[in-house]
A and B are shown apart, each in its own frame.
Chain A
Amino acid sequence: MDLTLILFIVLAITAIATAIGLLVSRNAVYAALFLVLNFATVAVFYLLLGAPFIAMAQVTVYAGAIMVLFLFVIMLLGAEKLPKGQALPWQRPLAIVLTVVLLAEAGILLFQRLSITTALSNPEAALNTEGAVRGLGAMLFSQYLLPFEVTSVLLLVAMIGVIVLTKENKA
């Protein structure tokens, strides 16, 4: 058994355990912290796959920025203790249906990958030719320029929206 496989198994168990912890914990702060751990574990997965840029971006954006804001809101509202309250009536059947769909999708993809072994052959090779970061930047500004620009416009719109919404009334 090589080192990568051992690492993968440990990480996989951590990822699943933290995800379950997120679902079952009745304290919102703990749930948020479990999610942070989960994001960090996923970042290490990216490192194992040879994508350090994505790994660091995952930590910075998700664990570092988004979850901090989550915690901020939870603490500011004092909403850390979840009430026992009843679930929405349609929630459980819908959840079951969606779970089945997700599992089926994952299973189909898994078997497809198993049959086509070439699909697994080093997806990051293209990115590593001239340094991962440089390659990623070149891809973003050539092949994926339109999605990139659309995303930036979306973010700009969100930023302006926030400014407009929080602007105090001059009246």
Chain B
Amino acid sequence: MNFALVVEWLIKGVVLVLILLGGFAYLTYYERKALARIQVRIGPNRAGPWGLLQPIADAIKLIFKEEPTPARADKLLFILAPIVTLVPALVITAVVPWGPTMTVFGHKLTLYIADINVGVLYIMSVASISVYGIVLAGWSSNNKYAMMGGLRSTAQMVSYEIALSLAFISAILLAGTMRMTDIVEAQKSIWFVLLQPVGTAIFLIATLAEVNRPPFDMPEAEQELTGGYHTEYSGMKFALLFMAEYDKMIAICLIGATLFFGGFREFWFLANTIFSVDRMPWLGPIYIFIKIVILLFGMIWVRATFPRIRYDRLMAFGWKVLLPLSLAVVFITAVGIILAEQVNPLWMWGIPVVSLLVGVFAIAMIDRELRRKDYARR
């Protein structure tokens, strides 16, 4: 074990955590500003120029807030739950590369913490663990509504995890590997979003449910559950839960950008120019930052646009629409790859065409179901 290597890992890990924590603070600012603009308001503008110091003011307020623990709450788990929620949100990004390998002062620097050959599987397993914090927060609060919020989120996350994993599989199939850096390299000529648009759409929808964002924010539906699993939390413990939610947003956008939008590779119109990542490796982190900001805007936009859907319909959508659709997408992708390999490379374009047809069919079926007379009464 090389000492310098350990120090390098340590520095990269600390930098990544700091980026995520700072990113959380300014993501809240970004979200509030974007939401305000969409709703024709101004948004935070008091603290600092353009309200830029607002996140810091929020943090100071939360630090000095009183932190009561509810009576007969399970003290240990009540304190542990925010930590258990936050840690998966931070460690999930460890396998995602945010830049190519570059040479700095004669030292080869890789811009990822770990490049393991089961990278996508690692993401899946960390995502599947991340539900514990929310369940425990709900249960340990000794509060009916918090508990119901926790249970709802368990059911929701377990259900949408399947569609999410199958969306991962379509990217794995196209790349032929689970190693994240190889998946990025496989998208050198064409992004997977073009080869598998329906898979990408499933990924984006399922991640909304996975990180409990509107319109799937059942666990914290205010009108029904006051505050869901974090009803009883305040002060820094609440801040940790909040931080976990926003860091998950950043992480999921980073993963989505890597799996379907070319990762740290340049945009297609910059390929083979001086701005290509091959020529200027330090542009990699900038490209992925731009992609993350765009994807995050999509999430905020969805929050501003769509009303929250009812819980049973959420589950029905997950199980009856997303699951069969994602299975079909995996099947189409696999068949398309085999045909492209065995018969003619042009069959590769059969994948997006057939997937889109199936997607349109699914939307038509949903539309038909919604138009049924007795739908509203069920």
Report which A residues bind B (CB closer than 8 A). Answer: 3, 29, 33, 36, 52-53, 56-57, 59-60, 63-65, 68-69, 71-72, 75-76, 80, 131-133
Report which B residues bind A (CB closer than 8 A). Answer: 1, 74, 77, 116-118, 121-122, 124-129, 131-132, 135-136, 139, 147, 150-151, 154-155, 158, 161, 178
Contact A133 B158 (CB under 8 A): no
Contact A64/B154 with A3-B1, A52-B117, A75-B135 known, Cβ cut-off 8 Å:
no
Contact B139 A29 (CB under 8 A): yes
19 A-B pairs within 8 Å (CB atoms) are namely: A3-B1, A33-B136, A36-B132, A52-B117, A56-B118, A59-B125, A60-B124, A64-B127, A64-B161, A68-B128, A68-B135, A69-B158, A71-B135, A71-B154, A72-B135, A75-B150, A75-B151, A131-B117, A132-B117
Contact A133 B178 (CB under 8 A): yes
Contact A56 B125 (CB under 8 A): yes
Instruction: For the complex, give the distance between the alpha carbons of A3 and B155 in Å.
Output: 41
List the B side residues contacting A65 at CB < 8 Å: 128, 158, 161
Give the nearest-CB partner of A53 in chain B.
B118
Give the nearest-CB partner of A29 in chain B.
B139
What 4 A-B pairs are tightest by C-beta distance, nearest first? A64-B128, A59-B125, A56-B121, A60-B125
> Apart from A53-B118, A75-B151, A132-B117, what are 12 other A-B pairs with CB-CB below 8 Å?
A3-B1, A29-B139, A33-B136, A52-B116, A53-B121, A56-B124, A60-B125, A65-B128, A65-B158, A68-B131, A71-B154, A72-B154
List the A side residues contacting B178 at CB < 8 Å: 133
List the B side residues contacting A63 at CB < 8 Å: 125, 128-129
Instruction: For the complex, give the distance between the alpha carbons of A63 and B129 in Å.
Output: 7
With both chains docked as a complex, state the minimum distance between the C-beta of B186 and any C-beta of chain A, in angstroms: 15
List the B side residues contacting A69 at CB < 8 Å: 158
Instruction: For the complex, give the distance between the alpha carbons of A128 and B291 in Å.
Output: 35
Contact A60 B121 (CB under 8 A): yes
List the B side residues contacting A131 at CB < 8 Å: 117
List the A side residues contacting B151 at CB < 8 Å: 72, 75-76
List the A side residues contacting B158 at CB < 8 Å: 65, 68-69
Instruction: For the complex, give the distance between the alpha carbons of A133 and B118 in Å.
Output: 8
List the B side residues contacting A33 at CB < 8 Å: 136
Instruction: For the complex, give the distance between the alpha carbons of A83 and B134 in Å.
Output: 27
Give the nearest-CB partner of B77 in chain A.
A29
List the A side residues contacting B121 at CB < 8 Å: 52-53, 56-57, 60, 133
